[in-house]
Amino acid sequence: MTEFIFIRHGQTDENKKKHIQGRRDIPLNECGMSQALLCGEFLKRNGYTFDVIYSSPLSRAVKTAEIINDVCNTGLDIIKSEGFIERSFGVKEGCDVCHEVFKEINDDSAEGLEKSYEVQKRVLDELYRVAKLYDGKRVLVTTHSHTIKAITTYCDPDKYHFEDRLSNCALSIFNVDKDKVMVKDFNIETQN
């Protein structure tokens, strides 16, 4: 079994404005860097250790990983993975987060949107690939909201949804055993 600790990146100015970022490469703001620092301290204080660190290639996720890596003093290299990049929201990138926009996302009807099944397949293919490489290990992944929700909605679509709230720098923990993925925890706050 491989344990994955997924962390949503820290806050960006677009998060603060409640805009959909998607694949746009928006950096962390001051608050986001502070959140990543507190997340690293939470992990260290609670005895979390890692065998490997993966990150989405987008700078907000990479910077979150770098800050956590420094705080936890792991000395590990950060492996960037396109498989863990954020969902492409097509024409909805830059739009306000609101009911009307999310209806088109949930219906998979927005122009240029990476469909729900497509993001699930992409993320799960990478999850299984990494799990095989690091069987019996703990993997830290810094990534994005819909990347994490691709896993939860796959595991239990009655309980989890793409519109579920996921805090910046929150932890979600998954266990992967051969071809089975289990949600251990979702949206664990690290900011207190």
Rounded distance, CA 61 to CA 66, Å?
Answer: 9
Annotated catalytic residue: which of 3, 14, 66, 86? 86
Rounded distance, CA 7 to CA 92, Å?
Answer: 24
Decide if 106 contacts 82 (C-beta within 8 A): no
Which residues, in sequence order, are CB contacts of 111 under 8 Å at separation 6+? 90, 91
First CA to last CA distance, the chain: 30
Rounded distance, CA 103 to CA 108, Å?
Answer: 8
**9 part of the active site:** yes
Annotated catalytic residue: which of 9, 19, 144, 146? 9
Q: Which residues are catalytic?
A: 9, 86
